[in-house]
Amino acid sequence: MKLKICGMKYPSNIFEVGLLLPDYMGFIFWEKSARYFDDVIPDLPKSIKKVGVFVNATQEDILEKIAKYDLQAVQLHGQESVEFCLDLKQVLKEENGKQAQIKIIKVFSVDDSFDFEVLKPFETACDYFLFDTKGKLPGGNGTTFDWKVLEKYPSNKPFFLSGGIGIDEMDAVNEILKTNLPIYAIDVNSKFEIEPGLKNIQLCKDVAMQRLYPKK
């Protein structure tokens, strides 16, 4: 199981969390977010993939942030169309060097009535799906959705599981990992914070250890 710690904001805190070696670290580039990032990312271990989180951003803005922050993945958290994702994917493929390896993560907000049929057109337009809890904000609402809904998941595409995951949810996470669902990573954020964007290092360490040594 991969681990993504999202909503990073403060350079010194980013450095400390980086020492725990999460697989992914997320930076939110949506200005309305309390975790909006507009600072300097300190040097991080090469194993950590930096993810830019965008909400209905323009392609130009996404490409500018990729270049500025040396991002390895783009997380699209708005109402981006299939055509937008395909066009962005093509542009990234046409770029030389590092950008050819940049992955696209398309987010879907889930509740009990979520229709998995909406995923089909996106199958070839992104590398991963991410399922978050449907709420007032595009993300960071701090609540989980009923994971039983995922029993209807019709695809083999790997996905990130997100939405209000904290230490108290880790037993449930370990249970769902025992299923045949193609869960690629868990995405944690608000339940590991002292305040928006400032992560609690001990809690992050706890989840990193559970990732390495899950309960059987």
pLDDT, tens digit, 9 for 90 and up, residues 87-140: 999 999 887 555 568 999 999 999 888 999 999 999 999 999 999 987 555 555
pTM of the model: 0.92
Domain count, the chain: 1
In this prediction, residue 99 carries a pLDDT of 57
* pLDDT < 70 regions, the chain: 96-100, 135-142, 211-216
pLDDT confidence of residue 216: 45
Report pLDDT for 1.
Answer: 85
Domain of residue 157 covers: 2-212
- State the CATH number of the domain containing residue 93: 3.20.20.70
Question: CB-hemisphere CA count at 13 Å for 90?
Answer: 6
Q: Cβ atoms within 10 A of the Cβ of 14, count?
A: 23
